[in-house]
Structure 1
């Protein structure tokens, strides 16, 4: 019996929309990464992008457990000596709520060119409106 390997031409990619209102950050990120990678499909092949497109709305209403609002930090470095910046979760929620979800999901995807290709299929919006209505996304209840 031969092993199945998906062909790029035979892959059907769907569009899904997820509402992040009152969802826990890590749990949402792990579920989304499964759909982005395509592990929910029977024709999953590790070296080929078989995943679906994901639209996340209401990113500004995401929730974290425990004291992570005060104790979780995000770091950014400018490339210059002493150029490290440190931001709290609360600051990021006020100014860049989409980056929080993107960073959490990106850490759960494979590193390298395949991971970069998969990550481009993620679209995150801070509020209820998005500009991808023409794709006719199906709402997922995660």
Structure 2
């Protein structure tokens, strides 16, 4: 399954894909997931972030030292780190025994 993310809101694209994956599982069962092809995402840098997420949304991480809270803008991290899309799709899927099999089929170009 090839997914073009250009000029589309990120959350809406991922929610449609997660619904398709869950429908494949519920309609065809385990055999449907095993036969499912890899999901390829491309044109990631052209996706649209709706609202004020470019300015107001941040990722926080802590280094483990005193005063070591790091603040990274969501949009900058989104451009350089492709794992954000993979992680957000993982959070939308159901956490059952086929979760790891589906997780391995997600590819980002």
Aligned residues of 1:20 and 1:57 also touching (Cα < 8 A) = yes
Q: Which has the larger radius of gyration?
A: 1
Aligned residues of 1:24 and 1:62 also touching (Cα < 8 A) = yes
**Structure with higher helix content:** 2
Structure 1 residues 65 and 49 mapped into 2: Cα distance closer, same or farther (>3 Å)?
farther
Structure 1 residues 49 and 111 mapped into 2: Cα distance closer, same or farther (>3 Å)?
farther
Are 2:32 and 1:50 aligned? yes
Q: Give the 5 Å matches for 1:82-121.
A: 84-96=69-81, 98-111=82-95, 113-121=97-105
Q: Take 1:114 and 1:86, find their aligned partners in 2: how far apart are those partners?
A: 34
Aligned to 2:92, what secondary structure does the other structure show? coil
TM-score, length of structure 2 as denominator length: 0.75
Structure 1 residues 77 and 30 mapped into 2: Cα distance closer, same or farther (>3 Å)?
farther
| TM-aligned CA deviation for residue 68 of structure 1 | 0.8
Aligned residues of 2:58 and 2:71 also touching (Cα < 8 A) = yes
Unaligned runs of 5+ in 1: 1-15, 126-142
How many residues were matched structurally?
Answer: 105
